[in-house]
């Protein structure tokens, strides 16, 4: 398959996010990848290339303060990064070959958390969340790097209601298809946090839940990464091709 790979810049506020558009010549469905805190688009680029052979147009990018994008990571708030996601979404949706009614968002950890909030601002048909992190609503405009890690760890050990959390509240309103992936040995996002997401998708068209055996939060070993990549690819193909 002929493949076009184009570096691009995503404008947001006064900054430019470093991104890469991977597209086949006949691509229609769009897939937006959102990496986690202190991560980058590097691994998502590999996933985007693999998906291109199935006719998906994928956009990967670095959140401000990450990878090749500008700004200081320690100054970035959740609102800043939510704006990044919306700007990247708009860039993907504006590509002439992309069907704006067929856009999936794939997020990991911090990126998965923000992806759920982004569904309130942009239309998302499919939502894939790998080890979605959970944060209190308080201090939304405080730099994310300054949030109390011990407090967050404690918060994630108990079931949280959508009534008290903006991300879970948007989950409860989401009507598309959802994939939630948990790591068996996750030291950052324990099962109660995952359960909080699972129980919140009360209006979703479908919810698929999988656990990657032996995996840690970061998918540190190649077997875990391969298992996730295969799972994500299979789910996206099933959801998107089934809808067409």
Q: Is the Cα dihedral 72, 133, 46, 26 positive or negative?
A: negative
pTM here?
0.90
- Specify the 3-state DSSP secondary structure of 104: strand
pLDDT per position as a tens digit, 195-234: 999 999 999 999 999 999 999 999 999 999 999 999 999 9
* pLDDT confidence of residue 240: 87
Angle at 33 between CA 83 and CA 22, to 5 degrees: 115
The rounded percent of the chain whose pLDDT value lies above 90 is 87
Range 78-103 average pLDDT = 95
Which sequence spans correspond to the domains of the chain?
A: 3-243
Beta carbons within 8 Å of 113's beta carbon, 6+ residues apart: 107, 132, 133, 134, 135, 167
Phi-psi region of 28 (alpha: psi -120 to 50; beta: other; left: phi over 0): alpha
Range 34-56 average pLDDT = 94
Q: Which residues of 205-239 are buried (b: 16+ CB within 10 A; e: fewer)?
A: eebbeeebeebbbbbeeeebbebbbebbbebbeeb
Range 34-39 average pLDDT = 96
Supply the mean pLDDT for the chain: 94
Range 70-82 average pLDDT = 95
Quickly count: other Cβ atoms within 10 Å of residue 69's Cβ.
Answer: 22
Alpha-carbon distance of 83 to 106, in angstroms, equals: 16
* pLDDT confidence of residue 62: 96
Of the listed ranges 34-38, 76-80, 93-97, 165-169, the least confidently predicted one is 93-97
Range 26-38 average pLDDT = 88
Alpha-carbon distance of 225 to 217, in angstroms, equals: 11
* pLDDT confidence of residue 244: 61
pLDDT for residue 24 is more than 80: no
The rounded percent of the chain whose pLDDT value lies above 70 is 97
* pLDDT confidence of residue 123: 97
pLDDT per position as a tens digit, 171-191: 999 999 999 999 999 999 999
User: Does the domain formed by 3-243 have CATH 3.40.50.1820?
Assistant: yes
Q: Are 172 and 201 in contact (CB under 8 A)?
A: yes
Beta carbons within 8 Å of 186's beta carbon, 6+ residues apart: 131, 215, 216, 217
* pLDDT confidence of residue 218: 97
pLDDT per position as a tens digit, 46-73: 999 999 999 899 999 999 999 988 899 9
pLDDT per position as a tens digit, 148-162: 999 999 999 999 999
What is the phi/psi pair of residue 92, to 5°? -65, -45
């Amino acid at each position: 398959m002929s493949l076009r790979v184009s570096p691009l810049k995503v404008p947001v506020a006064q900054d430019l996010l470093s991104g890469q558009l991977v597209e086949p010549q006949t691509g229609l469905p769009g897939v937006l990848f959102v990496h986690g805190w202190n991560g980058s688009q590097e691994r998502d680029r590999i996933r985007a290339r693999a998906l291109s052979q199935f006719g998906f147009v994928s956009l990967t990018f670095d959140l401000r303060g990450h990878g090749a994008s500008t700004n200081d990571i320690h100054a970035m708030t959740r609102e800043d990064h939510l704006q990044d996601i919306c700007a990247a979404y708009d860039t993907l949706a504006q590509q002439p070959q992309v069907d704006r009614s067929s856009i999936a968002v794939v997020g990991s950890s911090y990126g998965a958390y923000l992806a759920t909030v982004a569904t309130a601002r942009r239309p998302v048909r499919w939502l894939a969340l790998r080890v979605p992190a959970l944060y209190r609503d308080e201090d939304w405009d405080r730099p994310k790097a300054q949030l109390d890690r011990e407090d967050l760890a404690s918060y994630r050990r108990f079931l949280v209601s959508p009534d008290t959390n903006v991300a879970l509240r948007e989950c409860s309103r989401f009507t598309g298809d959802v994939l939630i992936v948990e790591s068996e040995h996750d030291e950052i996002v324990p099962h109660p946090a995952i359960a909080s997401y699972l129980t919140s998708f009360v209006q979703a068209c479908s919810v698929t839940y999988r656990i990657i055996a032996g995996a840690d939060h970061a998918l540190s070993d190649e077997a875990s990464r391969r298992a996730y990549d295969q799972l994500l690819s299979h789910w996206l193909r099933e959801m998107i091709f089934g809808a067409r």
